[in-house]
Amino acid sequence: MEATLITDLTYVEAPAAPVVSLPSLPPTVVQSGLKRSLLTGLFQLAEARLLWRFLRTPARVGEAIRYVEELKREYYGDLKPRKVARVAGRSYREYYEPGRPSAAYDAYVATTVNRAVPFRGDADTLNLVFLAITKKCPLACEHCFEWDALNQKEVLSRADIQDLVARFQARHVTQIFFSGGEPMLRVNDLVAVVEAARPGTDFWVITSGFNFTRENAGRLKRAGFTGVTISLDHHEPARHNAFRGSAQAYQNAVQAVAFAHEAGLVVNLSLCATAEFTTGTNLWAYAELARQLGVTFIQLLEPRAVGHYAGQAVDLSPAQLALLEDFYLKMNFASDYFSWPIVHYYGYHQRRMGCAGAADRFLYVDTDGDMHACPFCQKKSGSALCRTADDGFDAALASLKTRGCHPFSQAAL
């Protein structure tokens, strides 16, 4: 069914950002070894309690524990993640894992356990959804994967977004990341949608920092948002601004970090590590900056030849991929860096385990409400919009699972 065109949306304009000097913000990653051990112990206790609550017999609990151990071995090999961050009363270990304690964390463990030892009468496996809510954006980023859709007529209404959230919450999705375009242009809708959502899902917004004022950070937090992913693609202001096509981009991003911190939102800095950027010097300068800003996570993205990059040779060299992997391993697993931000590097695990997108653990919904394997592997696989009672959503999800579109998706997870 054809989606309705929405023409009467009003966007929230960003006021001119004041000039900021680089703030030095308190760390969110736990600095003390004792506290880290205590919080890790609390995660283990919570998991044991949940396993018992879900499965009720020692045999089934044992089966689930073996499955989870095997999963961790596949994902981390011999590495043992030890870093923990604390934000607003919750503990975080991974960007794609809800913080604990929370209903979202319990639901996340439930979905993992249900894969191994089914107990709740469904086969839902989705953990997270990227939901692009607007085609509007004032920037012109080099790597933008939504480039072809940008600044076209809007399709999704607030009611559509609300329905999409409810639909994915009914499928036990425990993290929803609102993207765009620039989702902060629809901050009123973000607030209304999350206020109306039920507990059990962590909500994040992925932003360039545009319109991320102190007031808006507070509104997001009060509405129930957990965190914000802020794009920062270089530690040098001029290079970040050139990459983003905006003279205000660096200032907006850094200021957004400070406001999010103040509001009690978890902060993830997202870095598109281009071939030009990827040197050891740049990576460690970036890490220093992230540490100074007190962020919880750094996300490393590899450039892909889609959207604005379509047709360009943007792949990193094997030596650069090795540099990124070395950076990831040192930052997360070397004791010298236990108090630095936690690095999320999906590409590292994707190369070893295969892809978790294509509706296996995550999927992408674009600004028309159509589903894709992931934000970078775009091939429309049916609509997620609730336009009719029997609108083929389940069939589209099932088809997405079998199709995927990236060679990594052939490997089993």
- The residues binding ligand SF4 (CB under 6 A) are 137, 139-141, 144, 146, 180-182, 208
Nearest approach in angstroms of CB 174 to ligand SF4 is: 24
- Using only C-alpha atoms, the chain has a radius of gyration, in whole angstroms, of 20
Q: Are 108 and 362 in contact (CB under 8 A)?
A: no
Task: Tell me whether residue 219 or residue 240 sits nearer to ligand SF4 (CB atom).
Answer: 240
For residue 234, the 8-state DSSP code is -
| Gap between the Cα atoms of 219 and 184, Å rounded | 12
Task: Tell me whether residue 79 or residue 140 sits nearer to ligand SF4 (CB atom).
Answer: 140
| Gap between the Cα atoms of 256 and 268, Å rounded | 11
Nearest approach in angstroms of CB 308 to ligand SF4 is: 7
To which residue do tokens 């977004």 refer? 161
Residue 270: how many CA atoms within 13 Å on its side-chain side?
21
Strand 227-231, strand 90-92: pairing? unpaired
| Gap between the Cα atoms of 259 and 167, Å rounded | 31
Task: Tell me whether residue 208 or residue 296 sits nearer to ligand SF4 (CB atom).
Answer: 208
Nearest approach in angstroms of CB 346 to ligand SF4 is: 17
Task: Tell me whether residue 12 or residue 398 sits nearer to ligand SF4 (CB atom).
Answer: 12
Task: Tell me whether residue 90 or residue 240 sits nearer to ligand SF4 (CB atom).
Answer: 240
The residue among 338, 315, 304 whose CA lies nearest residue 143 is 304
Task: Tell me whether residue 135 or residue 261 sits nearer to ligand SF4 (CB atom).
Answer: 135
Nearest approach in angstroms of CB 207 to ligand SF4 is: 8
Task: Tell me whether residue 181 or residue 354 sits nearer to ligand SF4 (CB atom).
Answer: 181
Nearest approach in angstroms of CB 271 to ligand SF4 is: 13
To which residue do tokens 């503990």 refer? 91
263 membership: H or E segment, kind and range: helix 249-263
The residue among 145, 179, 176 whose CA lies nearest residue 163 is 176
Nearest approach in angstroms of CB 180 to ligand SF4 is: 5
Q: Quickly count: other Cβ atoms within 10 Å of residue 250's Cβ.
A: 25
Q: How far is CA 364 from CA 32, 109, 127, 360, 397, in A?
A: 37, 22, 12, 11, 11
Nearest approach in angstroms of CB 299 to ligand SF4 is: 14
To which residue do tokens 């936690």 refer? 342
Task: Tell me whether residue 137 or residue 263 sits nearer to ligand SF4 (CB atom).
Answer: 137
Nearest approach in angstroms of CB 184 to ligand SF4 is: 10
